[in-house]
Structure 1
């Protein structure tokens, strides 16, 4: 939900404590193959990340992001000591800002501009990846899908900054 910034609630929703930071970046070349951790990738406007299976697609799911702070919660809810980012099949792990605040907003990572399009709900694969109950362990923690508005290089360590705050 995005509200006008000139309303009290809209102003609160638009205010973030600080920029986020990319902690992990992963690609997968095809369906049913493991994620491959990379240090950087090229985001292609209207498509996806070069080298990722969604690179030739278009639409709302050009890139997927998950909150680093949610990984321990997912692990705890799944009864695990920890969860590796690649297990959750998201392209980016971001720390330091609430991803939900980017839904419906444009934001910059490295050279690229994105727009948060909606929740990245877990899929049934999480049962196999995390064990019985894995799907439910991820509910509410699945992250954000975004479309790529303007392409460019993104890398681990890049800041994640809302466009209106850049």
Structure 2
């Protein structure tokens, strides 16, 4: 998708966000298939991911995964559950108060770190096992985003997420 020019009416609307986002939860996946570890803070490494996460040393395209807090109840409802714990969905950071889709193709500050949207974080087949039959489809459209770490730094629960160009 080609974005409209930044100085166009639609470009200005797309750049205007309701308020900063807020870090509600942080977790790392030490290895494939193991339970995520919830943290109060984490260190993001440039070109990698969060210290202690299995994706830290990767290509960086999927360095950190984020999911929108407001989508958790929707995923739970679609999966026929009362609630869904963030660790079950295997995303690193839960953000509230900001529509993550508005960060598409943008850089943003998360705590001390500078991140860049790389792609949507589509669900994988593990969600079927984690959420039960239909879990994969319950997450479609709600899987969050992947981001590359441009500048490393500390990220804490309660930190703001703001566009870098704001």
Matched, 1:64 2:75: no
CA distance in 2, matches of 1:132, 1:33: 20
CA distance in 1, matches of 2:151, 2:104: 17
CA distance in 2, matches of 1:55, 1:4: 34
1:28 Cα deviation after fit: 1.3
1:24 corresponds to: 25
1:116 Cα deviation after fit: 0.7
Give CA-to-partner distance per residue, 1:19-68, whole Å, 9 cap, x none: 00000000011111011000001000011111000111123100000000
Q: Which runs of 5+ in 1 are unaligned?
A: none
Superposition RMSD in Å: 0.8
Matched, 1:132 2:133: yes
CA distance in 2, matches of 1:10, 1:34: 41
What secondary structure is seen at the aligned counterpart in 2 of 1:50? coil
1:4 Cα deviation after fit: 2.3
Count of residues in Structure 1 that have an aligned counterpart in Structure 2: 165
1:118 Cα deviation after fit: 1.1
| 8 Å Cα contact 1:66-1:143 kept in structure 2 | yes
CA distance in 2, matches of 1:57, 1:16: 31
CA distance in 2, matches of 1:55, 1:119: 18
1:107 corresponds to: 108
Q: Which runs of 5+ in 2 are unaligned?
A: none
1:95 corresponds to: 96
- Give structure 1 regions of 4+ aligned residues with deviation exceeding 3 angstroms: none
1:90 Cα deviation after fit: 0.1
Give CA-to-partner distance per residue, 1:60-87, whole Å, 9 cap, x none: 1000000000000000000000000000
- Give the TM-score taking structure 2 as reference length: 0.97
What secondary structure is seen at the aligned counterpart in 1 of 2:127? helix
| 8 Å Cα contact 1:19-1:160 kept in structure 2 | yes
CA distance in 2, matches of 1:86, 1:7: 40
